[in-house]
Chain A
Amino acid sequence: AQTVTQSQPEMSVQEAETVTLSCTYDTSESDYYLFWYKQPPSRQMILVIRQEAYKQQNATENRFSVNFQKAAKSFSLKISDSQLGDAAMYFCAYFHAGNKLTFGGGTRVLVKP
């Protein structure tokens, strides 16, 4: 069975600085998708970034970028120029087939002004 591990329960970053969240996963599949979701306090979870495993190029969305290392089964998220609005729970998720996402335990990001 696929598993997703986020080893950092909480990360703190100074406003305008950069923070990197780690995510590792276990799968025997070669074709899959990886996602980072963000859930602000008391608000709904939104998609931050998406990566297709067959693409070698790392996905980027504005201040958010990933470092996808397929061989190492690693999918880290970098938040650059952190803003107060980035404070949230971040979930890494894996998808292969069947339309169900497998999530990691989440990392809480605190942004200090």
Chain B
Amino acid sequence: EAGVTQFPSHSVIEKGQTVTLRCDPISGHDNLYWYRRVMGKEIKFLLHFVKESKQDESGMPNNRFLAERTGGTYSTLKVQPAELEDSGVYFCASSRGPIAGAQETQYFGPGTRLLVL
């Protein structure tokens, strides 16, 4: 079974530019999550999709961030315009069902390392 994949693995952009990150979850996983780790700090939740619907986007920092999951398959996270504080590692995770009540877990991708100069 292929794992969660993310593209690109690294991205270096200048302040004010736009960057789009992509996540392909494990096939059959309805739940898709985005997290972010800013340098030296905790991994923070950004948002959660169930299929194509946003279930929880309480962690999105501001309206410069836009996440989509067209057709309930892969997801994209666009940052426009990027700011210096957006630098960090962006993780995507997926799960088949909800964590609670079952032996379910979130499977993580390798992350995209974003550097905004």
Stretch from A11-19, A63-71, A75-83, A101-109 that touches the partner: A101-109
A99-B99, A103-B42 known; A50-B48 Cβ under 8 A: no
CA distance A81 to B72 in the complex (A): 43
Say yes or no: B91 contacts A102, CB within 8 Å: no
Q: Bits for A1-26, please: 1 = Cβ < 8 Å to B, else 0.
A: 00010000000000000000000000
Q: Is A90 in the interface zone, CB < 8 Å from B? A: no
A105 surroundings in chain B (CB, below 8 A): 40-42
User: Using a CB-CB cutoff of 8 Å, which residues 1-60 of chain A contact chain B?
Assistant: 4, 33, 35, 37, 42-47, 50
Chain A: residues with Cβ within 8 Å of the partner, total of 23
Judge whether B56 and A100 touch: CB under 8 Å: yes
Contact indicator A44/B43 (Cβ below 8 Å) = no
> Which of the residues B3, B40, B98 comes within 8 Å of A99, measured between beta carbons?
B98
Q: A33 CB to closest chain B CB, in angstroms?
A: 7
**Which residues on B sit within 8 Å (CB–CB) of A100?**
33, 45, 48, 56, 59
Closest to B111 in A: A44
Provide the B1-38 mask, 1 if CB < 8 A to any CB of A, else 0: 00110000000000000000000000000010101000
Please give, as numbers and ranges, the residues of chain A lying within 8 Å of B48 by CB-CB distance.
98-100
| Interface pair B31/A4, CB less than 8 Å apart | no
B68-117 residues with Cβ-Cβ distance < 8 A to A are 91, 95, 98-100, 105-111
Cβ-defined contact, B105 with A47, below 8 A: yes
Chain A residues near B55: list those with CB within 8 A: 99
* A101 partner residues in chain B, CB cutoff 8 A: 35, 43, 45, 106
Chain A residues with CB under 8 Å of chain B are 4, 33, 35, 37, 42-47, 50, 91, 95, 97-106
- New contact pairs (4) apart from A33-B99, A105-B41, CB-CB < 8 Å: A44-B3, A44-B111, A95-B100, A99-B55
Residues of B within 8 A of A (CB): 3-4, 31, 33, 35, 40-45, 48, 55-56, 59, 91, 95, 98-100, 105-111
